[in-house]
Every structure is written in structure tokens, then in C-alpha cells.
Structure 1
Amino acid sequence: MADFVLYLSLFIIWLMLFYHIFLMQGGYFHYFKHIKTKQLWEQNPGEMPTFSILIPAHNEEMVIENTLKAMINLRYPKEKLEIIVVNDYSKDRTGAIIDEYADRYSFIKAVHTKPPHAGKGKSGALNLGLKHSSGSVVAVYDADNRPEPDAIYYLALSLNKDEKAGAVIGKFRVMNANKNILTRLINLETLTFQWLAQAGRWHWFKMTTIPGTNFAIRRSILEELGGWDEKALSEDTELSFRVYNLGYYIRFFPAAVTWEQEPENLKVWWKQRMRWARGNEYVIAKYLFGFGKLKNKKIVLDLFYFLFTYLLFFTGILLSHAIFVINLFVDLDLTIGMVSYVLLITGFLLFVIEVMLALSLEKRQLTVKNVFAVVFMYFTYSQLWIALVMNATFLELKRVLLKQEVKWYKTQRFDQKL
């Protein structure tokens, strides 16, 4: 029995590893293809659309001013740009700061939520902001973001040149990557995710997932979908599935870059990632049980990816770890012997190579310090995700069975200097 469980777990792990290798190749190909596409499109960009940027903000006084300054510096025709900041029932000076900038700049609008429809989460704030917007394209940025000056231009360029794209996502970078070991590991994680999962899936399948920030979507599509799902903790993933179901795809265009702040301690990281994991599990359940009603069956590719990542892959890792630990104290009479250790070591080396390949696509990221950090990441940060997903799964099952209300957690910010 122990042999069967171990073989099964190793099969699941290696299936995912091979899939990640396949995706990383696609990400690498897309990196070079994207450069040529960008140069070609810039020769004739076309008429720039009107743009509405939505920024949901709840207790963001530490970061919101720097974000607004970055918005002001965007190189985009101001007569075609409106920035709508939704102050979602903040208890600090967020509202006052937003009002100050709205008074000074005609293209910045302040929207304040009021009880009882206030402080309930990002989706509700975005839906309210959408009602106050008028642009033919709607973009979203988190309140801690500093988009580069040309970020909106490149999002607009992508939609101008690709009529089949219902939405386009850019790339995000970690502004506080060198703060401590945790932020360094998060930086490695985000870069790998974008060049592996996002760029790789786009290259092979024309599929990506909308992130919570630095993306643009056609207003007509957003209105047809009825805005954001206010029950979803991962409103971005949920929106992605509905965009695909309409027959559109979501383009990954890494020329559009924003810089964002990441958690600087484990407590904040855990709460943020817990929301992400629970939100993605909500999406898995929503579309898995409603699969028969989906018009675009291509969604099964992304549904499988999330199902495998959050349930099967972590189950395989958990089983293999459990058998390894138990075998240290009780002889399970395993016949696989040294083969299992060779597979585990090879899997570790593949993990390191995948991350290093992603780092090679970013300037000044493939360093000796980061190589050691990748090794450390495998034995610490990556293993922590196992406990997190287990806890998220338990909490989601509990919420469904007890019919509990979904509670939104707003990521804590840290003081930053411009």
C-alpha cells in the first residue's frame, strides 16, 4: 500500500513538473517574440482609446499619495484619461489625500463609499468605480502600485492591435524586493509565476489569468459580464473565466510594467496568500460544478491548471512527505528504494533551473545571491505553501458547509519612500 501511495504521489508531482517545464519553454519563447511584436505595433499604434483607471483604496494613507503621483506621471493624453479612486470607508487619511489630489487635477475623481455598502471588499469598490467611469477601456491598479510612465500606453496598444483580446495584462515587479529575505523570495516567486504560468500559458494556449492589478479590459465586455463577482475573494481569477466564456482571450503584454509593494512579514503574507488560495478554490468549485453550462470548453485548460495546482499537486507533495517522514521511524518496506531519492533530487534541480531561467529574462536578477535564495526557497518558502493550501481548503469547506459569509482581508501596507 505504501509503495502504491508513493508511486502515485511521485507521478502527480512529476506530471506537474513536466507541465511547468513545458510552460517555461513557452515563456522563454514569448519573451523574444514579444519584443518583435512590440516594435512592430509601435510603428502604427492607432488612435488611443479613452481610459478609466479604477483604484480601490481602504486605509491606504501610507501608499496612496505615491500611487497618485505615479498616475499623474503617466504618458497618456490626459483628455482621454480619468483616474477614479474609490475610498472604501477608510478610517485614516486616505479620503482626505484623495480629495486633495482630485481638487488639484481635473482627471482625478474621488468616490467615497457609504454604509451599509461600504468596506466590504475590492469587488464592491470596483463595481462602484465602474458606475462613475466613462472610458471605453477600464484598467485596475491596487493602491500601492507605481505603474511606469508608459504602462497604460502599452495596455492600450495591445487592445488596439488585437481585436480578439478582451483584456490585456501587464507585468508587475516587487518594489521592496531587497527589504528582507521574505520579500526577496516573493520577488523570485512573482517573476517565475509571470514568465512560467502567465507567459507560458499565453504562448501555448492563448490563455492567462487576470491579476489584481495592472490590467485593462474593454468596457463593453465588463458591462456585459455585469462587473465583478462580489462573493469572490480572488475577483481577478473569477473574472478571467467569464471573459474566456464569452469567447475572448486575455493577452500577456509584459511591456506594461507596474511596481507593487509585497508583505514584509510572515503574518501579512499568510493572510494575503490565504485569501488568494481560498479565492482560487472558490473559483475552482464554481466552474467545476457548473462546467456543463460553460459555452467555451477551452476553460477546462485553466480549470485543470488551478485544480491540479491547489488540490492534486499539493496532495502529491503532502503524501510523499508523509511517507518519507513515517519511513524514518517505521519500516514501510518500500521497494522503490533509491529511485525515489533520485526522483526527488532531480525534481529539486528542475525547480532551481525553472526559477533561474525566469530570472535570466529580467535585468540584474540572475545573481549569485538570488541563486542561493532559490535553493533556500525550495526548502522553506515553497514548503510553507503546503501548510497554507491545506488550511485554505479546510476553511473553504467549513465556509461552504456552515454557509458562512465571505470575509475580505485587505493586505496591510508598509511605509514607503518615493
Structure 2
Amino acid sequence: MWLKNLNTIFVVGYPIFVSIIWITGGLFSSFYRHRQSRKLLTADEEPFVSILIPAHNESDTLVAAVKSLAGLQYQHYEVVLIDDCSTDNTWELMETLAKQWAGQLAIHNLHLPINQGKASALNQGAKIAKGDYLVVIDADSLLQPDAVTQLMTTLLENPNYGAVTGKPIVRNRSTLLGRLQLLEYVAVIDLIKKAQAYLTGSITTVSGVIVAFRREALNEVGGWNPAVMTEDIDITWRMYRNKWQAAYEPRAVCWILVPERLRGLLKQRQRWSRGGLEVLITNRRGLYLNPWGQRGLLLESIVSNCWAILTAISLVAYAFQLFFLHNLSLDGNLLILMFTLNAIQFTIGFIASQEIAQLTLPELLLVPVYILYYWLINLVSCIAAISSYFVDPQRRGTWRSPDRGL
């Protein structure tokens, strides 16, 4: 009986505990950032930057992405478009865009004959890029006019920063799934990164949709790793192993498209979870070699995977009790506390991002659905990632046509 009670406390208590940590760290991070004086780079101070956009079958999104780059406040940059063996007209579109924007943007195109994944495409793009600083975005990313300026200001503030990542905000909101992911990005992902950066001095991962790199750091870690499922998580931890730091800059905003079909969302989250698991296994020695803050991030990842496994087992046990024994007992007080803290967490994220993310009050009505959605999606994707890793540990990442919600 005591083991069953302990399991119940962990399954329900873990989300409660991490919510408290995220809320506390996120609030202190926002207060600190608000009090901090900040002077953005001027045009005379800007180093030359290469903006890399890898793409595979992105003809529907590439035009808008390039157009957003033409509106940047940053003055000194080039654009490198990388076609990773697309089967649609992405390459032809890249050539058209280079001619169309010839007077305003310095666009260099690169065509790869074999689809070897995003990491390989970025490595090839970096070879022809001229800048000592590289900004990487996805082909659906629309940058705010000051996004690159914000990233570069933060990157140059600390010579130990190898990478600085920005804040993605969902722009396709016509479906329930799209709106739920909007809430997730502002109430969970943003809040977690703020809390991690403030409490540990590190973040679990940079966001591949908007991140700036110091070329010196990239060269030192050997560039992106084509052998992993998530190149952004992997390169973050390889930078840590080489004594570089990664930072989060929420004032650098980009607008992204997210999957609007459940199958596409689950595949995306399974890939994220598997990438996290690969990095955890690869960096297991970091549990006693890395700085304490990074050790905490690795330990949290272990606990998160344990939570997913025990929660899955508990759900099976609860279903058995309900359908065969007609008896189900749950701690109502813990459940109420969990939902209350998650509601507080969402409200904080909502308030912090309401203006920039163009959130409306009706989104508040989705809070109960959002809470269930977040934990269930993460549970399913985590279990699927653990299973796929042990079935096929050598699986490599290649691109397929993405679900952009279009």
C-alpha cells in the first residue's frame, strides 16, 4: 500500500513541483530582466552576420520568410538558402528569390543532391557563409524587425556565449491544436527557458527555429551532428562540454508555423523526446562532471522520463481498477493543487506575452483543455521516444515534408 501511495504522490506531485520551479524562476527572471539596463547594438557596432535557412519541400513558406528578412533593422548580413534535395520547386523558388531581392538582400543559394537532414544542410551552408556569426532559422520563421539585433546584442555581451536562442510564437491559430500550441509556447516553453536560465545559468536546448551562433564555438564543437534526431539539443550540450554557454533572449521574437494535425504533432514531439533521450545518454557523465546547474537539467530530464514510465503504468492500473474492480481512488487535493498551479503558470505566461503574441482573452477559456493536452502529449511522446530508441538506437535524422499547418 505504501508503495502505491508513494507512486501516486510522485505521478501527481512531480508536475506540481516543476510548476512551482518554473513559476518562481520565470517570475524572478522577468523581474531581473525588467530592472536590467540594456543598450542595443548600433549599426556601427554590428558585426557581419550570415543567416542560414535550410529547407526541404518548403515552397509554401519560403517567400514569407525571406520577405521578413528584408525588413530587419540589422544592417550587415547575408542570407544563405540551403535546399536539402527537395522534391517540390523549392530550389527553383530560391533562385527566383535571389533575383527578386537582388537589390536589397545578399542571397546565396546552395543545392544539396542528397537529403541528409537539417544538421548536414547547416554544415554545408556554414562552409559558404562569410560571417563570424551565424543566425539559423527555419523556412517558416518570420523574424521580428529587431530579432537579429536582440540576439547579437546578447551574444556579444558575454564572450563565453557560444549560442543565444530567441522566443518562437505560433502564428497559425485557426484550429484548436494550433491554439493549444500557442498557449504551450508562451506559458510553458518560454517560462521554462526563463526559469532555467535564471536558476541554473543554462538552458536545456536552443530553439532551432531562431538561434545565433558564434562561429568560433561552432568550429570548436565540430558543427552540427547529422547522426542525431535533434541537432539543436545535441549542439547545446556539446557546447557545454567544450565550456561554452548557451543563453535565452526572449526579446528576440520569431513567428512560426506548427502542426495542425495530431499525427504530425505526435511525430514532432516524439522526435523532440528522442533527441532529449539521446543527449541524456550521450552526456550521462555530465551528471558528475558538468557545472551544478547543468547537472540539475540532466537530472530533471531523468526524472521526467521516469515520471512518464510510472504515469503510463499508473494509467493502466487505474483503468483496470475502474473497468474490472469498479473502484478508483485518487487524491483530489493533489489534483486540485496541480490544476491550480498550472492555471497560475498559464496566466503568468499569458500576461507576459499578451502584447507581443497578440493573445486575446477568449484564449483563457482553453486553460483546462491546455493543461490536459500538455501533460498527455508529453506523456505519449516520451513513452514513444523511449520505445523507439531501444528498438532502433542508430536511427538518423533525414527530412520529410513537414506539417506546417498550411
Same fold (TM over 0.5): yes
Q: Does the CA-based 8 Å contact 1:144-1:261 persist in structure 2?
A: yes
Letter in 1 for 2:265: W
Q: 1:6 to 1:330 in 2, by over 3 A?
A: farther
Q: Distance in 1 between matches of 2:109 and 2:379?
A: 41
CA contact (8 A) 1:275 1:409 kept: no
Residue 251 of structure 1 and its aligned partner are, at CA, apart by 1.6
Matching of residue 350 in structure 1 with residue 341 in structure 2 = yes
User: Which whole-Å CA distance do the structure 1 matches of 2:243 and 2:84 have between them?
Assistant: 33
Tell me what 1:34 maps to. 33
* Alpha-carbon distance change, 359 to 387 in structure 1, aligned in 2, over 3 angstroms: same
Which stretch has the larger CA shift, 123-132 or 153-162? 153-162
Report the count of equivalent residues: 400
Relative to structure 1, the CA distance from residue 9 to residue 399 in structure 2 (aligned partners, 3 Å threshold; closer, same or farther) is: farther
Q: Flag the 1:10–1:199 CA change in 2: closer, same or farther, 3 A.
A: same
What amino acid is the match of 2:377?
L
Amino acid at match of 2:26: G
Which residue pairs with 1:202 in the alignment?
Answer: 197
Deviation digits for residues 83-107 of structure 1 (CA, Å, limit 9, x no counterpart): 1010111111111111122234251
3-state SS of paired residue (1:19): helix
Structure 1: state its 5+ residue gaps. Answer: none
Q: 1:404 to 1:381 in 2, by over 3 A?
A: closer
Q: 2 CA distance for matches of 1:405 and 1:139?
A: 24
How do residues 48-87 of structure 1 correspond to structure 2 at under 5 angstroms? 48-77=46-75, 80-87=76-83
The residue identity in structure 2 corresponding to 1:301 is: G
Secondary structure of 1:185 counterpart: helix
Asked if 1:360 is matched to 2:351, the reply is yes
Alignment-mate amino acid for residue 221 of structure 1:
A
1:193-239 CA deviation, whole Å, 9 max, x = no partner? 33321000111111122111211011000001110011111110111
CA distance in 2, matches of 1:262, 1:206: 29
2:250 match: secondary structure: strand
Per the TM alignment, residue 304 of structure 1 is displaced from its structure 2 partner at its CA by 1.6
Query: C-alpha separation between the residues in 1 aligned to 2:28 and 2:44?
Result: 27
- Relative to structure 1, the CA distance from residue 331 to residue 284 in structure 2 (aligned partners, 3 Å threshold; closer, same or farther) is same
Paired with 1:56 and 1:373, the residues of 2 have a C-alpha distance of 34
Contact 2:161-2:245 within 8 A present in 1 as well: yes
CA contact under 8 A between 2:10 and 2:307: conserved in structure 1?
Answer: no
Give the match for residue 264 of structure 2.
268
- The letter of the residue matching 1:82 is E
CA deviation after TM superposition for structure 1 residue 406, in Å: 4.9
CA displacement at 1:313 relative to structure 2: 2.2
1:325 aligns with 2:324: no
RMSD over aligned Cα atoms: 2.5
In 2 relative to 1, CA 368–258 (structure 1 residues): closer, same or farther, beyond 3 Å?
A: closer
Q: Which residue of 2 aligns with 1:22?
A: 21
1:303 corresponds to 2:294: no
Q: In the alignment, residue 326 of structure 1 is paired with which amino acid?
A: F
Note the C-alpha offset of 1:328. Answer: 2.2
Residue by residue, what CA displacement relative to the aligned partner does 1:61-119 show, whole Å, maximum 9, x if unpaired? 00001001111111111xx31110101111111111111222342511101102xxx21
Letter of the 2:332 counterpart: Y
- Residues 158 and 127 of structure 1: CA distance in aligned 2, closer, same or farther (over 3 Å): same
Aligned counterpart, 2:387: 394
Point out the more displaced range, 164-173 or 135-144.
164-173
Is 1:146 aligned with 2:137? no
**2:301 counterpart letter in structure 1:** F
Identity %: 27
Question: Which residue among 383, 394, 402 is the counterpart of 1:411?
Answer: 402
**Alignment-mate amino acid for residue 192 of structure 2:** A
- Taking structure 2 as the reference length, the TM-score comes to 0.91
Superposition pairs for residues 372-391 of structure 1, below 5 Å?
Answer: 372-391=365-384
Residue 41 of structure 1: SS of its match in structure 2?
coil
Write the distance in 2 (CA, Å) between the matches of 1:380 and 1:318. Answer: 15
Query: TM-score, normalising length from structure 1?
Result: 0.88
Note the C-alpha offset of 1:284. Answer: 1.5
Corresponding residue SS for 2:39: helix
Letter in 2 for 1:95: W
Specify the SS of the correspondent of 1:42: coil
- CA, structure 1 residues 43+124, in 2 after alignment: closer, same or farther (shift >3 Å)? closer
Inter-CA distance 363–377: structure 2 relative to 1 (3 Å threshold): closer
- Cα distance in 2 for residues equivalent to 1:320 and 1:8: 8
Q: Counterparts of 1:353 and 1:321 in 2: how far apart (Å)?
A: 26
Residues 150-182 of structure 1 show CA distances to partners (whole Å, capped at 9, x for unaligned) of 110111111222223221111111111x21110
Amino acid in structure 2 at the alignment position of 1:197: I
Note if contact 2:167-2:251 (Cα within 8 Å) is conserved in structure 1. yes
Cα offset, 1:408, TM superposition: 4.4
CA 413–292 in structure 1, closer or farther in 2 if over 3 Å, else same: closer
Secondary structure, counterpart of 1:30 in structure 2: helix
Give the secondary structure class of the aligned counterpart of 2:194: helix
